[in-house]
Chains A and B, each alone.
Chain A
């Protein structure tokens, strides 16, 4: 049975879905990810910190848009595991 899992931000800052402005997104909605895969970056204290999936599954949707502000505990993405 499919179950949903929300990946939460641990850091406050600005969320980015790409490693750099010209690069492709780390993952797209619908992609499959494994635990430990990078979903995006959070900018904090003048540096960029990776947001990693803490479960495996299909990315159902992102809850924060690219360059959106995020606070600790807020959902970043919903994963659908089977």
Chain B
């Protein structure tokens, strides 16, 4: 019957949406981005806490969280930025699995640290998958619940599982959400780092870029001296099909996480970003740096630091190891 296996949206928060990990994989060539959580580290651990697979569908809350009433007993966990979660008005611990009784209300407020909070529920969210994923792709109005972010009054279906309350994520396994407004974000060189000259690459990596409020799950705009980036000869003396300005290149595929140089503005292409276009991507943010974008706020500083592809892969494997039951202990 399933009529009771759900939660009700009392307040939606700011574009609170169903996501799963790694998201909608395999449709990039048709223009569909992966979507999924911006901070996959916090997201996966929320699921692990309630006994789900790390990639199970859960909620991503952005800046201001939702208020949800549960229509059955379950276990929940809230991770990521501190949105001051409360159960029936009583504060609950972040990074901890908590028993919820039928009829209780979980309320998240604004993010006191970071930018995104994650709510996982034992059994996961059981919305209808679209192209193999439950992730919400806001711009196209697909995935998620009824094609978009949560709305007041919706009844969202849940899977059936028990979960264990009273587990917590060990301190060492939690991502560090900065409070000094400065993020050091790992990047790997390329695919188009050779379109910049040495001074241009140096400027990219030695600038305190400021995250613009004109940033969302499509792209993260970086304010700074983008007009002073200098280019290699191949960016200037090039065939006309590459376009007229130095950062133009003949249309190419974009990696997710690309640091795209759109004219004079670097834009990091994130989870709902475009699959292709005609600007160069001098750097790419790999998994190990990407979660930080999910927690950075407008006005904060992003400093890009280059690591090798080998190192990025090693650290991604390490993150997957951390996002498992071995990071849990009794609260």
Cross-chain contact B14 with A49 (CB below 8 angstroms): yes
A residues 13-66 touching B (CB-CB < 8 Å): 13-14, 43-46, 49
Stretch at the interface among B157-165, B208-216, B276-284, B302-310: B208-216
| CB of B299 closer than 8 Å to a CB of A | yes
Interface size on A, residues (CB 8 A): 14
Contacts of B62 in A (CB 8 A): 45
Chain B 45-81 interface 0/1 with A at a Cβ cutoff of 8 Å (1 = within)? 0000000000000000011100000000000000000
A44 touches B298 (CB 8 A): yes
Q: For the complex, give the distance between the alpha carbons of A73 and B179 in Å.
A: 13
- Tell me the B75-131 residues at the A interface (CB within 8 Å): 109-112, 115
Question: Which residue of A10, A46, A49, A71 is within 8 Å of B299 (Cβ)?
Answer: A71
Query: What residues of chain A lie closer than 8 Å to B297, measured between beta carbons?
Result: 12, 71
A contact residues around B63 at 8 Å (CB): 10-12, 44-45, 72
Q: Which residue of the partner chain A has the closest CB to B219?
A: A46
Let me know if B15 is at the binding interface, CB within 8 A. yes
Which residues on the B side are within 8 Å of A4 (C-beta)? none
Please give the distance in Å from B253's CB to the nearest CB on chain A. 24
Interface string of B246-278 (1 = CB under 8 A from A): 000000000000000000000000000000000
Q: Which of these, A10, A45, A46, A69, contacts B110 with CB under 8 Å?
A: A10
Given contacts A45-B15, A72-B110, contact A10 B298 (CB under 8 A): no
User: Which residues of B have CB within 8 Å of A73?
Assistant: 110, 112
Give chain A nearest CB distance to B257 CB in angstroms: 19
User: Who on chain A is nearest to B15 by CB?
Assistant: A45
> Could you tell me which residues of chain B, from 289 to 303, have a CB within 8 Å of some CB in chain A?
297-299
CB contacts (< 8 Å) of A12 on chain B: these are 63, 115, 213, 297-299
Interface size class of B (residues with CB under 8 A): 10 to 19
Chain A residues positioned under 8 Å from B213 (CB to CB): 12-14, 43-46
State the main secondary structure of chain B at its contact with A. loop
Distance in angstroms from A37 CB to nearest chain B CB is: 19
The answer to whether B216 and A46 touch across the interface, beta carbons within 8 angstroms, is: yes
CB neighbours (8 Å) of B214 from chain A are 43, 46
Give Cα distance in the complex from A27 to B215, angstroms. 28
Q: In the complex the two chains form, what is the Cα distance from A72 to B84 in whole Å? A: 13
Q: A10–B64 contact, CB under 8 A?
A: yes
Contacting pair B14 A72 (CB below 8 A) = no
CB distance from A44 to the nearest CB of B (A): 5
Quote the shortest CB–CB distance from B260 to chain A (angstroms).
16
Of B62, B112, B213, B299, the most chain A CB neighbours within 10 A belong to B213
* Inter-chain pairs besides A71-B299, A72-B110, 9 sampled, C-beta below 8 Å: A11-B14, A13-B299, A43-B213, A43-B214, A44-B213, A45-B14, A49-B14, A69-B299, A72-B111
Enumerate 18 A-B pairs (CB-CB under 8 Å) in ascending A order. A10-B63, A10-B109, A11-B14, A12-B115, A12-B213, A12-B299, A43-B214, A45-B15, A45-B62, A45-B63, A45-B213, A45-B217, A46-B214, A46-B216, A69-B298, A71-B299, A72-B111, A73-B110
* A-B pairs with lowest CB-CB distance, top 7: A10-B110, A12-B297, A45-B216, A13-B213, A43-B213, A69-B299, A72-B110
